[in-house]
A and B are shown apart, each in its own frame.
Chain A
Amino acid sequence: MNSEIVVSVCMGTGGIAAGGDMVMQAFEKEFEEAGVSNAIVKEHTRLHKVGCRGFCARDVLVDISVGGIISTYQYIQADMVNRLVKDHCIGKRPVTEWMVGDDYHNFHDSQTKIVLHDLGKIDPESIDEYIRVDGYKAAEKALTTLSPAEVIDTVKRSGLRGRGGGGFPTGVKWGFCAANESDQYYIICNADEGDPGAFMDRSVVEGNPHAVLEGMIIGAYAIGASIGYVYIRAEYPLAVERLHMAIKDANERGFLGKNLFGSDFNLKIKVKLGAGAFVCGEETALIASIEGERGMPRAKPPFPANKGLWSKPTIINNVETLANLPHILNKGAEWFAAIGSEKSKGTKVIALTGKIRNTGLIEIPMGMPLKDIIFDIGGGIEGDKLFKAVQTGGPSGGCIPQQHIDLPVHYEGLASVGSMMGSGGMVVLDETDCMVNISKFFLEFTQSESCGKCVPCRLGTKRLLEILTRITEGEGKEGDIELLQELAEDVRDSSLCGLGMSAPNPVLSTIKYFRHEYEAHIKQKKCPAKVCSKLLTFFIREDMCVGCGMCVRACSVNAITGEKKQPHKINNTLCIQCGSCFDACKFSAVLKE
């Protein structure tokens, strides 16, 4: 009988933030103590750290497998570990009340996992575990049985398109690159995930770094690159650490370095840390950054596939794109092409976040309706509020309203309503979110991240932001909406790179679908969602106020007065609409209008 006890603790950034390392330590301690008197525990226990398994809202997630039967626990904290070890691991009586319920399985069952398949199952710090799930088999197959042209052809036939935002067919791009005559080619993995609200690249690198390296080997072989770079955000320390570890292990096993798999093909992979610039996600800016320059984009053509890093033919692929490649090589182009929609093949990893019950990382077949993602997998809106919109594609994308809830999620579908796939961030907004404020938020972002090279983006985003700020502060004027539209279209049409070309999307899409909210801000000087504080008046309901004084202590401008245990009052000439009293009141007596 299999008497092995395997415990897997989620140790992605989400898991660690929820207390994963403390849970891990608690298991170590408990097992050590139990092992003194129990030989089975001492001999047959394996404690694992695994990468993100998607359902971050339930962290810390722990899998306990005794004799091959796996149970999953949610919301585990260090002080719960003692009972898990005593009852489940030793006593073989699972603690049913801490286990995940049907909703956990619903969340996973409607997904199709390719890239995320092994995340949360294997230890990302162990190359052996990756090899155990057929790791590096695809690279070996490519290098020993296929020619580079055959690899390119396979990827072309699979229909795989770039997952970083552009959606350009990967195999076609490789073909362009390989067609150049050159003494050196480069492959770059773009892990500079800059979109706020997107964390799939980080999770994949943290949870399965070898899959990314294997994808790079396949890509490098196809185009003939002997040097590869991974350009990764310095804000992701855990991902960087695991990547370094994976490269070291792969080098030691001969999967990287010289004469891979007995062929005459060599590949060296280096890691370059980004220094905090969103624009470096753009290919030419990323190349400038690797060269040590200011990360400013240049005009295309020439495209990097013809003239890239150090002016040599260069391929830049996103993390998720690369992580798809081993599966395509192993299972075949036809298998991949059978998943998804007509023009968008395969799956897309989506970071589902915002005002939704089940937040986390999911993977869906291309073409799944928005409604299924939000209400089935996501479990609907948090706190039974009303759905208002879903923001996709980060600062380059747009807001999609209720009327398009049946929209299929693929490149063409999202573009048809003025948004985009981008890297796959999906932020769900409810009735308490102000669309003008959201639009302003994204313009603040793009304005400060604009590199300043071209005038339309540098000045255009600044002026757009000024108008939006004015509107949210109650200074909006008649004609502002038309001015915003005109300026936004100019910025979109005349900017040099993708950042400027897509920066107006949040403005244009919110005006298109939520024009009435702009009008309410400008004409009635009201914020319908009660978010824009300059347009709000705070007051206290006398019948609800118990006179506890919490609001008085929270107010930084002494605008609230009142006797103890008597209803208090807000002096609106002193009030700066900061909202502290609203947060502080435990009796919902502070109202805003």
Chain B
Amino acid sequence: MDTQMTETLEAIYDRCVANEDNIITVLQEIQKEFGYIQEKVVLWFAERSNIPASKFYGVVTFYSQFHQNPRGKNIVTVCCGTVCHVKGASRIISKIHEDLKLKEGQKTTKDMKFTLERVNCVGACSIAPVVLVNEKVLGKVTPSKMVKSLKAYKD
């Protein structure tokens, strides 16, 4: 680990100690900084805080918000709530798979440009089916509209 990274971690550590934050908040801070939770970061924190690494991993693997692998530049999140489901979310997912050439079980494209994720519900059911590209909410999506929307992010 380089010095810059250690300094960043040290800063997170100090901030979290000062705020009396819990492990979940610590991990949320780490993920905000680095994009995902790396093993070496967890081990560093475990040693620094004198909390077993297993405790950190228990939390990381429990909550769906934490990622253990690097994610693509653009995050495509398909809402899979009840309304989106009955209005065809699964067809949108298979279209994205096809368009981004993702294999079964693969989430991130080889060029690291896209990561495809699902979310239980974003609560925008009135405009279902809903897809989020990064922060942007797309409503009333169809498979062909989806392909068009993704084009803009490809170059």
Is there an interface contact between B63 and A429, defined as CB atoms closer than 8 Å?
no
A293 close to chain B: CB less than 8 A:
yes
Contacts of B138 in A (CB 8 A): 17
Binary contact readout A436-448 vs B (1 if CB under 8 angstroms, 0 otherwise): 0010011001000
Q: How far is the CA of A70 from the CA of B86 in the complex (A)?
A: 37
Binary contact readout B121-142 vs A (1 if CB under 8 angstroms, 0 otherwise): 1111111101000010111001
Q: With A427-B86, A445-B120 known to touch, is A197 a contact of B125 (CB < 8 Å)?
A: yes
Contacts of A14 in B (CB 8 A): 124, 126-127
Q: How far is the CA of A13 from the CA of B64 in the complex (A)?
A: 22
Contacts of B81 in A (CB 8 A): 196-197
Is there an interface contact between B120 and A194, defined as CB atoms closer than 8 Å?
yes
Q: With A295-B63, A583-B91 known to touch, is A278 a contact of B82 (CB < 8 Å)?
A: no
Q: How far is the CA of A295 from the CA of B65 in the complex (A)?
A: 13
Within 8 A of B (CB), among A192-232: 193-199, 202-203
Is there an interface contact between A56 and B127, defined as CB atoms closer than 8 Å?
yes
Q: How far is the CA of A199 from the CA of B128 in the complex (A)?
A: 13
A572 close to chain B: CB less than 8 A:
no
Is there an interface contact between B59 and A293, defined as CB atoms closer than 8 Å?
yes
Q: How large is the interface on B (under 10, 10 to 19, 20 to 34, 35 or more residues)?
A: 35 or more
A58 smallest CB distance to B (angstroms): 9
Binary contact readout B111-126 vs A (1 if CB under 8 angstroms, 0 otherwise): 0000000011111111
Contacts of A433 in B (CB 8 A): 86
B66 close to chain A: CB less than 8 A:
yes
Contacts of B135 in A (CB 8 A): 237
Is there an interface contact between A359 and B28, defined as CB atoms closer than 8 Å?
no
Specify which of B123, B124, B142 lies most central, judged by the most chain A CB atoms within 10 Å of its CB: B123
A57 close to chain B: CB less than 8 A:
yes
A interface with B by C-beta (< 8 Å) = 13-14, 16-18, 56-57, 59, 193-199, 202-203, 234-237, 272-278, 289-296, 351, 353-355, 359-360, 391, 394, 425, 427, 429, 433, 438, 441-442, 445, 449, 451, 556, 578-580, 583-584
B interface with A by C-beta (< 8 Å) = 21-25, 27-28, 58-59, 62-66, 80-83, 85-86, 91, 94-95, 98, 119-128, 130, 135, 137-139, 142-144
Other than the known A196-B80, A427-B82, what 6 A-B pairs have Cβ atoms closer than 8 Å? A14-B126, A16-B137, A196-B81, A197-B83, A234-B65, A583-B142
What are 5 A-B contacts with C-beta separation under 8 Å? A18-B127, A275-B28, A292-B21, A295-B62, A353-B126
Q: Which 9 A-B pairs have the closest CB atoms?
A: A292-B22, A199-B123, A56-B126, A196-B81, A275-B63, A196-B121, A17-B137, A276-B64, A276-B65
